[in-house]
Amino acid sequence: MKNKIFISVVYTAAAVLLLAGPHTLFKVCELTEPPMKCWWTVRAETGTAVLLFVSAGLYVFSSTTREKIYTSIFAAADTIFVILLPFVLIGGCSMNTMPCRTVTFPAIYAIGIITLIVTAGNLIVLIMKSGREHLH
């Protein structure tokens, strides 16, 4: 039960930070006309945050180890996209001194990497538990 709560809290915290952070804590560049790439990256991160909320909900209500494994795999894939959106898929401003490059993207990378590490650790524990369950 503690594992369910901890993992769900991690996913929910990451989702909240990805949703609100670029607009409050680690602000992205100002909106211009036309919008810069970093603005679109933050918009796309909204989708990954929603999927992390879904992962948190699914994890809380999962009852079997297999369901937890599948939910964790889903969350890991989503978290990989969290990291890839600013790094490769969309990107940001070309100047390295812009707020998106100095503050926003490093914060997004940190959120993504921490969530991915927690998820990978959880997957290892779940797979080991799954193996023990099949032995009995």
pLDDT tens, residue by residue, 35-44: 889 899 999 9
Q: Assign residue 21 a region: left if phi > 0, alpha if psi is -120 to 50, beta otherwise? A: alpha
Range of the domain at 104: 2-135
On the 0-12 / 13-18 / 19+ scale of CB atoms within 10 A, 83 is: buried
Average pLDDT over residues 55-61: 96
Two structure tokens written together for 65: 């180890």
pLDDT of residue 136: 52
107-120: per-residue pLDDT in tens? Answer: 999 999 999 999 99
Inter-residue contact 35 to 29 (CB < 8 Å): no
Q: Round to whole Å and give the CA distance between 11 and 15.
A: 6
pTM (2 d.p.): 0.91
Split into its structural domains, the chain has a count of: 1
Q: Which long-range contacts (CB under 8 A, 24 or more apart) does 23-27 make?
A: 25/107, 26/103, 26/104, 26/107, 26/108, 27/99, 27/103, 27/104
Two structure tokens written together for 73: 């795999």
Measured over the CA atoms of residue 110, residue 53, residue 25 and residue 37, the dihedral's sign is positive
